[in-house]
């Protein structure tokens, strides 16, 4: 490795130390049968604890790729990503993800769906039972813990998936077009709900959206 030239722009390492999440010259290319797809190129920005970040852009611009890289399930091909100062190198517990559709296993009751990551991680359920109930209460679903997913509306199911993403108490709440599949009215309600969850939990939400109508949309 050669010493940086004084004519090079300074790297942003000094700022990375203060950032909760820091991207530095992030790149991601996919190798496909038809050639190389450059999904992300030269992404550099910092996110501080408690900030609400919206990633806005059209379909195919790399939003899902970026979120999956933060979650640690997609490897990046250049640059770096740090969460709380540590390089993201693989799946990590510092983030929880909400997808476009709630995708709740239909045979699991609502409480069991919230506890799904705990079962997958092999953690003791009894330590998380109260937390699961508190999260369901936070989104107004405490009376539904014994119901099955098909007994809930789309908006209610998406609330459950937010609880599921928060059950292991991650600092980052990643949401990939979380309300894209909901009708306009439910989407508005969920956006207000999300703002409330943000202020109540002090998490750092990062969401992707194709819409740009308000800071949390």
Closest separation between CB of residue 39 and ligand ADP, Å?
A: 4
Q: Considering only CA atoms, which of 148, 162, 150 is closest in space to residue 190?
A: 162
Based on the shown chain and the rule CB under 6 A, indicate whether residue 189 belongs to the binding site for ligand ADP.
no
Binding site partner of 39, from Mg ion, ligand ADP, none, Cβ cut-off 5-8 A by kind: ligand ADP
Chain residues binding Mg ion by CB under 5 A are 64
64 vs 204 by CB, closer to ligand ADP: 64
Contact between 65 and ligand ADP per CB under 6 A:
yes
58-66, 132-140, 156-164, 189-197 -> range binding ligand ADP (CB under 6 A): 58-66
56 binds ligand ADP (CB under 6 A): no
| Binding flag, residue 35, ligand ADP (CB under 6 A) | no
Which whole-number Å values give the CA distances from 175 to 3, 68, 148, 170, in the listed order? 39, 10, 23, 13
The binder of ligand ADP chosen from 16, 61, 84, 148 (CB under 6 A)? 61
Angle between helices 184-201 and 129-138 (to 10 degrees): 130
Q: Encode 156-167: b = buried (16+ Cβ within 10 Å), e = exposed.
A: bbbbbbbbbbbb
β-pair type (35-47, 21-32): antiparallel
When asked if residue 59 is in the footprint of ligand ADP (CB under 6 A), the reply is yes
Q: CA-CA distance, 112 to 117, in Å (whole number)? A: 10
Q: How far is the CB of 53 from ligand ADP (least distance, A)?
A: 15
| Residue least distant from Mg ion (Cβ) | 64
Would you call 8 exposed, middle or buried from its count of C-beta atoms within 10 A (0-12, 13-18, 19+)? exposed
Q: Note whether 39 binds ligand ADP by CB under 6 A.
A: yes
- The residues near 169 (Cβ < 8 Å, ≥ 6 apart) are 131
User: Which residues lie closer than 8 Å to 127 by C-beta, 6 or more apart?
Assistant: none
Rank residues 30 and 214 by Cβ distance to ligand ADP and give the closer one.
Answer: 30
Shortest Å, Cβ 176 to ligand ADP: 7
The upper half-sphere exposure of residue 165, i.e. CA atoms within 13 Å in the direction of its Cβ, equals 30
- Of 59 and 127, the one with the shorter C-beta distance to ligand ADP is 59
Binding positions for ligand ADP, rule: CB under 6 A:
30, 32, 37, 39, 57, 59-65
């Amino acid at each position: 490795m050669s010493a940086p030239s004084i004519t090079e722009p300074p790297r942003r390492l000094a700022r990375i130390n203060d950032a909760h999440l820091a991207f530095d010259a992030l790149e991601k290319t996919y190798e496909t049968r038809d050639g190389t797809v450059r999904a992300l190129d030269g992404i550099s920005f910092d996110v501080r604890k408690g900030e609400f970040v919206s990633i806005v852009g059209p379909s195919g611009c790399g939003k899902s790729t970026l979120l999956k890289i933060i979650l640690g399930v997609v490897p990046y091909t250049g640059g770096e990503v740090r969460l709380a100062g540590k390089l993201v190198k693989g799946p990590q517990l510092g983030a929880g993800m909400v997808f476009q559709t709630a995708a709740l296993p239909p045979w699991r009751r609502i409480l069991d769906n919230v506890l799904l990551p705990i079962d997958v991680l092999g953690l003791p359920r009894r330590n998380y039972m109260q937390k699961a109930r508190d999260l369901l209460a936070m989104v107004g679903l405490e009376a539904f813990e014994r119901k099955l997913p098909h007994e809930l509306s789309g908006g209610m199911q998406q609330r459950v998936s937010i609880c599921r993403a928060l059950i292991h108490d991650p600092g980052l709440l990643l949401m990939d077009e979380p309300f894209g599949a909901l009708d306009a009215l439910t989407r508005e309600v969920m956006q207000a709900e999300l703002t409330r969850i943000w202020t109540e939990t002090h998490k750092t939400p990062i969401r992707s959206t194709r819409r740009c109508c308000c800071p949390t949309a």
